[in-house]
């Protein structure tokens, strides 16, 4: 091997550096740098802010893998990206065109809405401004009020920090996989209620805790276990439970002496983590939690839901299946979705919200391993149907192959906000119309 410009006889790194990032112990602690994309996938070089602002192409040196590692070992100095990543294309078109159906006046500006599974065809549930829950059949245009929900007043203290002011209280509608139960909760708040859609009866009132919850969505997700509906929900800022939505019965009771007590003493299974948006894998085995680790860290964590319910009631705190997939600063409420029974996609490449590159990282829940990272997907929604990943960019829907990272199609002007797996379609409300587009569906 030859002596590299960094002065070492070693294997050359694919990452080149400007000379200001070189040093025996890495760059100075206070130096800031940018990642300069090369146009090959998401490969990049590094240069300091001085070289970046010089107005000419920086001189980049080939260095060894050790020098490249030390240059960005502490990512707090990373302040942005330059250039564009390579978006790999495999055009194959997309079946169908968006279909529009005029919504009834009361449903054109709902507080929230959701796919209504458990029924034939394409039905959706709407939460109106009067707190009515209305079923709408997208094939016939018929609608029916099923219940009225009352969510208790929320009194969460909301610190006046700049990053948190925009996270206003908002209602969020969740529907069980059978289509029988609905939960309405206050995202960035603490209260909620569960309704039986067959009878219209409120079966549970919810309290998700107060500390730090003004930043996170109300952690709640429905799942199916042993043939019945169950509901995972936050009962304190750092505690989740599973309940029977029909009765409110607790399914994850723990030994109180091993938890935090009312006087603030920490128990054996204390969790320094604030639960956020939850996503259940298609087969119901895994749960992904996009929660908060202190301030400002946001982490995506997974664990085995079946093991939690059947073997270890502390699985959500520190069980053997619990794994942290990634941590990013200030990346509140970025989208996460399951692309298969065990693979979960997390939006954003990078470690800080201000320097995230549009794209996704795909992880295997069973091992915690990152299996694929690819650039391109953008926006604030991610959906998957077992064959394709769907993102909402500035120009409209973008469709990706999550096994290769290639973009396979786009639908300009269509900005989906909901995925209906049973009906195999994406949907949006645009100008008072329900707009629907078929997905690729499961193989």
442 has pLDDT over 70? no
pLDDT at residue 368, as a whole number: 95
Of 138 and 155, the structure prediction assigns the larger pLDDT to 138
What is the helix (H) or strand (E) element at residue 195, kind and residue range? strand 191-196
Mean confidence (pLDDT) of the chain = 90
pLDDT at residue 74, as a whole number: 79
CA separation for the pair 80, 65 (Å, rounded): 22
pLDDT at residue 163, as a whole number: 47
Other beta carbons less than 10 A from residue 431's beta carbon? 9
Reduce the DSSP state of residue 317 to 3 states and report it. Answer: helix
Of 419 and 156, the structure prediction assigns the larger pLDDT to 419
User: Which has the minimum average pLDDT: 58-72, 99-113, 246-260, 345-359?
Assistant: 246-260
**Rounded mean pLDDT, 201-219:** 88
Instruction: pLDDT band for 373, please (50, 70, 90 cuts).
Output: very high
Of 209 and 416, the structure prediction assigns the larger pLDDT to 416
Contact between residue 47 and residue 27 where contact means Cβ atoms under 8 Å apart = no
User: Which has the minimum average pLDDT: 111-120, 256-265, 413-422?
Assistant: 256-265
pLDDT at residue 165, as a whole number: 43
- Phi and psi dihedrals of 353, rounded to 5? -55, -40
Other beta carbons less than 10 A from residue 89's beta carbon? 12
pLDDT at residue 164, as a whole number: 47
Contact between residue 82 and residue 48 where contact means Cβ atoms under 8 Å apart = no
Instruction: pLDDT band for 152, please (50, 70, 90 cuts).
Output: confident
- Phi and psi dihedrals of 140, rounded to 5? -100, -20
Instruction: pLDDT band for 113, please (50, 70, 90 cuts).
Output: very high
96 has pLDDT over 80? yes
Nearest residue to 290 via CA among 272, 271, 275, 273:
275
Continuous H helices in 97-247:
162-165
244 has pLDDT over 90? yes
């Amino acid at each position: 091997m030859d002596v590299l410009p960094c002065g070492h006889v070693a294997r050359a790194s694919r990452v080149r550096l400007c000379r200001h990032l070189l040093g025996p112990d890495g760059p100075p602690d206070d130096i800031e740098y940018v990642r300069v994309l090369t146009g090959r996938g998401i490969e990049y070089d590094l240069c300091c802010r001085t070289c970046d602002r010089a107005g000419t192409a920086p001189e980049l040196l080939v260095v060894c893998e050790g020098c490249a590692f030390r240059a960005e070992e502490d990512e707090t100095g990373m302040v942005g990206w330059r250039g564009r990543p390579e978006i790999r294309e495999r055009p194959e078109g997309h079946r169908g065109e968006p279909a529009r159906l005029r919504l009834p006046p009361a449903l054109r500006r709902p507080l929230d809405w959701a796919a209504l599974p458990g029924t034939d065809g394409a039905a959706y549930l709407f939460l109106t401004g009067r707190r009515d829950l209305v079923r709408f059949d997208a094939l016939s245009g018929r609608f029916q009020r099923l219940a009225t929900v009352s969510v208790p007043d929320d009194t969460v203290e909301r610190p006046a920090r700049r990053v948190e002011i925009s996270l206003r209280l908002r209602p969020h509608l969740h529907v069980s996989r059978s289509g029988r139960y609905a939960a309405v909760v206050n995202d960035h708040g603490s209260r909620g209620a569960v309704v039986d859609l067959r009878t219209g009866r409120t079966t549970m009132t919810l309290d998700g805790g107060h500390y730090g919850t003004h930043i996170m969505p109300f952690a709640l997700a429905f799942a199916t276990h042993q043939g019945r509906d169950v509901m995972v929900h936050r009962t304190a800022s750092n505690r989740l439970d599973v309940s029977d939505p029909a009765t409110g019965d607790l399914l994850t009771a723990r030994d109180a002496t091993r938890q935090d007590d009312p006087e603030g003493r920490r128990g054996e299974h204390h969790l320094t983590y604030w639960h956020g948006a939850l996503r259940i894998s298609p087969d119901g085995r895994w749960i992904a939690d996009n929660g908060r680790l202190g301030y400002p860290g946001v982490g995506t964590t997974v664990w085995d839901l079946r093991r939690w319910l059947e073997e270890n009631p502390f699985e959500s705190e520190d069980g053997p299946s619990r794994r942290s997939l990634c941590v990013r600063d200030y990346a509140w409420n970025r989208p996460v979705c399951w692309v298969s029974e065990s693979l979960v996609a997390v939006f954003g490449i990078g470690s800080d919200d201000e320097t995230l590159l549009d794209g996704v990282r795909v992880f295997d829940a069973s091992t915690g391993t990152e299996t694929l990272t690819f650039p391109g997907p953008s926006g604030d929604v991610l959906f998957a149907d077992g064959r394709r990943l769907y993102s909402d960019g500035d120009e409209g829907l973008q469709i990706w192959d999550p096994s290769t990272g290639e973009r396979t199609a786009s639908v300009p002007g269509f900005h989906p906000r909901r995925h209906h797996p049973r009906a195999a379609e994406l949907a949006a409300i645009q100008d008072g119309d329900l707009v629907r587009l078929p997905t690729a569906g499961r193989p």
